[in-house]
Structure 1
Amino acid sequence: ERELPAHGVLVNVAPFCAFHFVLATDLAQLLPQVLTERSLRVALSFIRHFSSFLRLTFNSLGAGASVNHLHWQGMYFRQPLPIERQPRRRQAMRGCLLLEAVDGWPLGAWAFAAPQGCEPERLAAAVFPLIQKLLDWNLAHNLCLARSSDTVRLFLFARRLTNFPDTTRAQVASTEALGYWIVPREGEYEELTEVEAAAKMASVAAWGANGSSIVQEVLAAAGWEFDLQRPGELGEAAPDACAG
């Protein structure tokens, strides 16, 4: 019997873009689609060694996962995704790591950044306490890993468990949460408006206005230092952040 590798890069049988692949971490263990700290660490290490056009996304069960084995989806985009162009507000630090809130996005989003000189794998240990809480609370979640020339960034979305009964219609999974919509039917594509897309995104949010306080409570207990005295500074991704 052939022995499975520790991790696998697999061809996606239903690609929606060129070079769409699956990164199956700990493939030999046949794990379910429940994110582990090790899987996150492997994905962070993976993305920092490849082109900055690469994005790795993760759909939990109830957030767009179509199969129940531990995997990330890999895809290449030559332009920044819409969320990457959105202003971000600094919230907290943990050593060299930075936490930002994404301003004005329909679905609550947090961006964790490892700038140049800060090992991206450190993000796994720093972010996983929040992911573990989402698992404990039975909340679905999407993640996206992206790398610019000098920064690895992890976008995280907490959301309600959602079934996807009709796969012929647009649903909010990881790419849609990032602002990149996959619309299976031409008629729906022609009719979909930005307002409707934003409403679909907002409808799956795990929390309302209190989301930031929940995230702050969990991460503060994990060693993140929040600056409550000074408002966070707004920042925006440079247009060429994904070039390379």
Structure 2
Amino acid sequence: MWKHFKFNPDSINLSCRTDVQFNEFDRLLQFEWNRALAQGLFTFQIDNQIKQRVLDGDLHYIVELNPSRFEKRRMPYAFEHVNTPFDSNKFNFNKISEQEILFALDDEQQTDKHLVIINNSPIRYYHVLLVPDRQREQTQILTIDSLLFAFRFVLSSAHPFIYVGFNSLCGFASINHLHLHGLYMPDRIFLQTVKCSPFHPETNCYLHTLFDAEAVAFEIKHIEELDRIVRCIHKVTSYLAASSVAHNLSIVKGDSFSDFSQPALRIFVWFRQPNIGAKPVDRCNLACLEMSGYVFLRYEEVFHDISETELREKINTLALPLKEQQKIKDDIKTLLDQEI
């Protein structure tokens, strides 16, 4: 049976500006990930000296070259709808081996509730998947419980650049079994410090308008706010899923939107044009990581010549029509009014 880690709300650190790198949680994650690596459970041998560059520009995009991620991973499924029934005949996380489970982020009475497992085709070292309640065969639609799991994962780590992301179906999710991605960013990304404008202050909600494809952004400055803000975020993501709107979510430590001198947990939810069907890779795909300031690439020539300007232009093409985008924002405000 795998190990367990119990979340401790008294030992969290929200800062993205600390020199502290690892604690007991991080050491457990890395020890178990390295154990899986030694057991040969990954589809390729990831290079710890992976090629990396930081793009010129205001956002300092971090770009890494990882062709094996594209060439040797399991073929992603093609989805036509954000809401797609679970198909037990396709790959899902009930088909993995026990060795692929690193640990559970819960107490020992919940042996299969919040599992942290390997991604067997990792984006970078210590890339993991967060799989909540896998036996329930939940589709790729966020639940309150999965959001709490994601927040506790980030809050348990001492690392300033710990990251959790989620892609909906048609938002570049490749498997229709509820999961989120967890990894250490190689450095601070712009999402941790970017300024956002007030949108619904009563629920700690802001608007991220750096790209034409906008996002609502929430902040949590105190652990006491966690449950309330999770309910607000879940209302937003449930509305998007029910409205068949593709979306991406990112969770990072960063500066408070309302007071840059104070640390906070930042949560971004983008609503975007859907990616329908197969996922062709030309220069780069655009999912939660790419929206956040980090890009991994397949082709060396793209790695050398991609620019921040190109990335901005590509992300801008994901914007929904202005009328539709405005309706989504109006509907979100109405939903958040119910939480006041």
1:62-77 matches, within 5 Å, as: 62-77=170-185
Check conservation: 1:172, 1:201, Cα contact below 8 A: yes
What is residue 84 of structure 1 aligned with on the other side? 192
Q: Secondary structure at the match of 1:222?
A: helix
What is residue 53 of structure 1 aligned with on the other side? 161
Check conservation: 1:10, 1:22, Cα contact below 8 A: yes
What is residue 142 of structure 2 aligned with on the other side? 35
What is residue 265 of structure 2 aligned with on the other side? 152
C-alpha spacing 1:172/1:47, structure 2 compared with 1 (3 Å): same
Q: With the length of structure 1 as denominator, give the TM-score of the two structures.
A: 0.81
Runs of 4+ in 1 over 4 A off after TM superposition: none
Q: Deviations over 1:85-123 (max 9, x none)?
A: 3221122223xx411112433431221011135432322
What is residue 241 of structure 1 aligned with on the other side? none
Deviates more, 1:124-133 or 1:3-12: 3-12
Deviates more, 1:111-120 or 1:194-203: 111-120
Q: Deviations over 1:51-92 (max 9, x none)?
A: 232110001111111112110100112532123332211222
What is residue 219 of structure 2 aligned with on the other side? 113
> In 1, Cα distance between the equivalents of 2:338 and 2:280?
40
Matched residue pairs, number?
A: 223
Structure 1 position 48, deviation (Å): 1.8
C-alpha spacing 1:83/1:152, structure 2 compared with 1 (3 Å): closer
Check conservation: 2:208, 2:217, Cα contact below 8 A: yes
Report the RMSD for the aligned CA atoms in angstroms: 2.5
Q: Secondary structure at the match of 1:182?
A: strand
C-alpha spacing 1:37/1:219, structure 2 compared with 1 (3 Å): farther
State which of 297, 303, 313 in structure 2 corresponds to 1:189: 303
Residue 322 of structure 2 corresponds to residue 208 of structure 1: yes
> In 2, Cα distance between the equivalents of 1:225 and 1:103?
24
Structure 1 position 161, deviation (Å): 1.4
Tell which structure's C-alpha radius of gyration is larger: 2
2:133 alignment partner AA: D
C-alpha spacing 1:217/1:31, structure 2 compared with 1 (3 Å): closer
What is residue 78 of structure 2 aligned with on the other side? none
What is residue 274 of structure 2 aligned with on the other side? 161
What is residue 57 of structure 2 aligned with on the other side? none
Q: Secondary structure at the match of 2:135?
A: helix
Q: Deviations over 1:32-51 (max 9, x none)?
A: 21222221122123322222
Structure 1 position 212, deviation (Å): 4.9
> In 2, Cα distance between the equivalents of 1:60 and 1:47?
20
> In 2, Cα distance between the equivalents of 1:181 and 1:202?
16
Check conservation: 1:60, 1:141, Cα contact below 8 A: yes
Identity %: 23
Structure 1 position 132, deviation (Å): 1.6
Gaps spanning 5+ residues in structure 2: where? 1-97, 99-109, 255-261
> In 1, Cα distance between the equivalents of 2:321 and 2:223?
34
Q: Give the number of the structure whose residues are more often helix, by fraction.
A: 2
Gaps spanning 5+ residues in structure 1: where? 227-244
Q: Secondary structure at the match of 1:181?
A: strand
1:151 alignment partner AA: A
> In 1, Cα distance between the equivalents of 2:171 and 2:219?
23
Residue 263 of structure 2 corresponds to residue 141 of structure 1: no
